[in-house]
Amino acid sequence: MSCKPQSVLSELPSRRICPTTFSLLAAASLQASLPSIAMAEGLPTAGVVTQGQASINASGGTMNINQSTHNAVIGWGSFDIASGNSVNFQVPGGGATLNQISGPASQIHGNLTSNGTLFLVNPNGVLFGQGANVNIGSLVSSASHLDQHDFMNGNYHFTAAGAGTISNAGTITAGSGGYVVLAGAGDIQNTGTINVPGGSIQMVSADTFTLKLPTANPLLDITVDGTATGTKVSNTGTLTANAITLSAAQGVVSTYGTVKAT
């Protein structure tokens, strides 16, 4: 059976849609649940600033990262946030932080904030649990690799690394005109809520892709390499943004959730 991209403009019945790209600018609603995820423990560990300048301070259940350069790269041994704990990034206006994580899949069940753009890159996956509360300027969460030197030079080309799942069961809120990207070679899932007023949401299953960050056009652009591979993208939660795109390179896209164009 051949399938081609569709634009959803009214309520959809439960169905499975395939394959490559599914761009959504309206609403559909049903409910589903995410399989249980083991609870994270504590706070991120073994943080080392490898590009730019930033300080990392933890006290009790709170970690504060204060960045003094426009962009910075931090390597982590693990990046977990337990329920009730908080990690806060403070960056100069319009700045960004690349977090390169070498440990097991990151499990975020607490609070994560940044006044800038936050990149969470873990080849083993990033899981936002039901209790996760993420408030950021913009967010990119991926299992693909982003070279730190490319990042510092404004080149956001992601290459094949791991195939960990990127999933959200919590609440992610980006700033006005911002963006949220969940991407990588593995499964890309949303069962929670993602809200980006006046901005864009991209859920992409592909191992190699390039981001073009917004300038005059407020919407982020993503280009998937022609040879990219992926598995599946699924949404059973709520997505709200000006533009929403779900795509899977050589894979399957399904939506049973609520999709709202603003």
Q: Is pLDDT of 247 > 70?
A: yes
pLDDT-based confidence at residue 185 (cuts at 50, 70, 90): confident
Cα dihedral sign for 195, 201, 205, 206?
negative
Q: Is pLDDT of 29 > 50?
A: no
Question: Which of the given ranges, 167-171, 201-205, 244-248, 253-257, has the highest pLDDT on average?
Answer: 167-171
What pLDDT does residue 35 have? 37
What pLDDT does residue 137 have? 96
Beta strands 209-212 and 221-224 are antiparallel
What pLDDT does residue 16 have? 37
What pLDDT does residue 152 have? 97
Q: Determine the Cα–Cα distance for residues 179 and 1; give it in Å rounded to an integer.
A: 33
What pLDDT does residue 117 have? 96
pLDDT-based confidence at residue 5 (cuts at 50, 70, 90): very low
- Ranking 25-34, 67-76, 181-190, 205-214 by mean pLDDT, the lowest is 25-34
What mean pLDDT is predicted for residues 107-124? 97
pLDDT-based confidence at residue 260 (cuts at 50, 70, 90): confident
pLDDT-based confidence at residue 161 (cuts at 50, 70, 90): confident
Strand partners, 221: 212
Q: Determine the Cα–Cα distance for residues 67 and 128; give it in Å rounded to an integer.
A: 24
What mean pLDDT is predicted for residues 200-205? 93
Q: Is pLDDT of 205 > 50?
A: yes
What pLDDT does residue 215 have? 64
What's the whole-model pTM score? 0.83
Name which residue leads in pLDDT, 249 or 82. 82
- Ranking 37-46, 67-76, 114-123, 198-207 by mean pLDDT, the lowest is 37-46
Q: What is the pLDDT of residues 219-230, one digit of tens each?
A: 788 888 766 666
DSSP symbols for 51-108 = ES-EEEEEETTEEEEEE-SSEEEEEESB--B-TT-EEEEE-STT-EEEEEE-SS-EEE
Domain 23-261 has CATH 3.30.1540.10: no
Q: Determine the Cα–Cα distance for residues 192 and 168; give it in Å rounded to an integer.
A: 6
Q: Determine the Cα–Cα distance for residues 162 and 126; give it in Å rounded to an integer.
A: 11
Average model confidence (pLDDT) across the chain: 83
